[in-house]
Amino acid sequence: MQTNIDCLLPSMPERLARARGDLAMGLPALLTHDGARVLIVAIETLTQTRLDALRDMFGAPELLLTAKRGQAIMAPATAALISDDTVRVCPPADATLEWFQKQADTQFDAARAPTGPLHLVRNAATALHEAAIKLVKKAELLPAVGLFTLPADMADNPLHLVPITAQDALHHLALAPVLAPVAAARLPLETHDVGRLHVFRDPDGMSEHYAIEIGKPDPDQPVLSRLHSACFTGDVLGSLKCDCGPQLDAALARMGEEGAGVLLYLNQEGRGIGLANKMRVYDLQSKGLDTVEANHRLGYEDDERDFRIAAVMLSKLGFQSVRLLTNNPAKVQTFHDNGITITEQLPLRVGRNIHNQNYLSVKALKSGHML
Ligand SMILES: Nc1nc2c(ncn2[C@@H]2O[C@H](COP(=O)(O)OP(=O)(O)OP(=O)(O)O)[C@@H](O)[C@H]2O)c(=O)[nH]1
Ligand SMILES: [Zn+2]
């Protein structure tokens, strides 16, 4: 019997998913670019023992940060030298794990002692550095990477890792999300007793997103729709720091009143940075930064979500046209760019209170939300 071993080897999306899992566990991933091979580790999950072992085997690492994080922690003269999205820092020869953590983790910012200027690697960042940072961001870790270059004469692949070509990684990470329907069942809700919850899963096994049909919406008519991003604090706990809970309730209530609708629930907690990072930026906000500044201080963009996920789920359910409940112009634009017609944008202004009024004003001012 002839077996085709190729189909058992991981595809590029599967390699990327494995690498994200390994980085989250504190293990290295192997990237290649233009003949160079590097091992990358996430600073958040690195241990001193592994740092020492990696340094013994491969020499001193570079520290990669995003430009946003670099701008936040460097002296103005050094920060002015940043021209790429990714900053390459040359750590002191005896840098401990704590030194790396202090550059990466905002919890040390308040107590940051002036450590003198950081030494930047002047060579421009390449696809290798960009892919490394994108992978730790995808894993919702602190966006900081330790990078060890494998000597050119080193025997092949000492850690037996499946290599990932940086250009391929960047290409695949930018592709439209792939989602497959997994299961669906009737779900009567308080707002309407005819409901159906559909679970979609990325074939790389890393994420699931949900669509909730209310009533029996007609796919030939524009469907009342809400694209909602997960907010554990607002949706579940009733947090007053944002407007998510009241928006979710109001959207479902309106769909119930009209007798039909589709709620798209995207597991992109904290505008795509994950709950742990959201708590990091909440901590920064309690010290005076606004919601956008806090994301930047951590090293993330203000919004890391991919709204194409919602367009994919809608299309798979057979809907091409929506009346969208949102104040966010980026959601409207993404639907428009991905083949979903918006016949109406319906503002969803609920849940303003003394704790979130600043947050809502900043979203209007800096992210273009309708007030
Ligand atoms: N990073 C970060 N995320 C936050 C903060 N406050 C709330 N969030 C997240 O922001 C997202 C809000 O999602 P939505 O309600 O879908 O979106 P929106 O962009 O405000 O748009 P509309 O509500 O449709 O107008 C959720 O993922 C929350 O977890 C914050 O201060 N920082
Ligand atoms: Zn929220």
Encode pLDDT of 97-133 as tens digits. Answer: 999 999 999 999 887 765 667 888 888 899 999 999 9
* Cβ–ligand 1 contact at 277 (below 6 Å): no
Question: What pLDDT score was predicted for residue 123?
Answer: 87
Bridge partners of 341, per DSSP, are 321
* Catalytic residue list contains 94: no
Ligand (nearest to CA of 347)? 1
CB distance 165 to ligand 1 below 6 Å: no
Q: What is the pLDDT of residue 113?
A: 63
- With contact defined as beta carbons under 8 Å apart, do 225 and 344 qualify? no
Q: Ligand 2: distance of its center to the CA of 58 in Å?
A: 43
Spatial separation of the C-alpha atoms in residues 202 and 182, rounded to whole Å: 10
318: pLDDT strictly greater than 90: yes
Calpha distance 282→237 (Å, rounded): 15
* The two structure tokens encoding residue 65: 């940060």
Would you mind telling me the total number of residues written for the chain in this entry? 371
The answer to whether the CB of 141 is under 6 A from ligand 1 is no
Torsion of CA 59, 134, 164, 203, to 10 degrees: 140
User: Is 305 among the catalytic positions?
Assistant: yes
As beta bridge partners, residue 186 has 196
Name the β-bridge partners of 224. 323
Chain centre to alpha carbon of residue 17? 14
Please state the pTM of the whole predicted model: 0.95
Q: Quote ipTM for the complex.
A: 0.97
CA atoms of 288 and 285, how far apart (whole Å): 5
Tokens representing 225 are 């729709």
- Name which of 58, 23, 22 is nearest 43 in CA terms: 23
pLDDT (mean) for 134-156: 93
Ligand 1 atom at shortest distance from the alpha carbon of 363 = 20
- Other C-beta atoms lying within 10 Å of the C-beta of residue 18: 19
Q: Which ligand is nearest to the CA of 248?
A: 1
From the CA of 291, how far away is ligand 1's center (Å)?
10
Neighbours of 176 (CB within 10 A): 11
Type of residue at 209: H
CA distance 280 to 289: 12
Domains annotated for the chain, with CATH where assigned, are 5-174 (3.90.870.10), 180-268+305-367 (3.40.50.10990)
Average pLDDT over the chain, rounded to whole? 93
| Closest C-alpha to ligand 1, atom 12 | 229
Q: Which ligand is nearest to the CA of 233?
A: 2
Rounded to the nearest angstrom, the distance between the alpha carbon of 269 and the centre of ligand 1 is 8
**Cα 137 to averaged position of ligand 1 atoms, centre (Å):** 18
Is any ligand 1 atom within 6 A of the Cβ of residue 225?
no
Report phi then psi at 207, rounded to 5.
Answer: -150, 150
Rounded to whole angstroms, the Cα distance separating 185 from 199 reads 9
Q: Which residues are annotated as a binding site for Zn(2+)?
A: 231, 242, 244
Among protein residues, the one with the nearest Cα to ligand 1's atom 21 is: 328
User: What confidence tier does 158 reach under pLDDT thresholds 50, 70, 90?
Assistant: confident
Type of residue at 323:
R
Residues 230-273 have pLDDT tens digits of: 999 999 999 999 999 999 999 999 999 999 999 999 999 999 99
pLDDT at 169 over 90: yes
Question: Six-digit token pair at 270?
Answer: 């904290």
Question: Quick one: tokens of 349?
Answer: 């202004």
The active-site residue, picked from 235, 243, 302, 303, is 303
Predicted confidence (pLDDT) at residue 1 exceeds the cutoff of 60: no
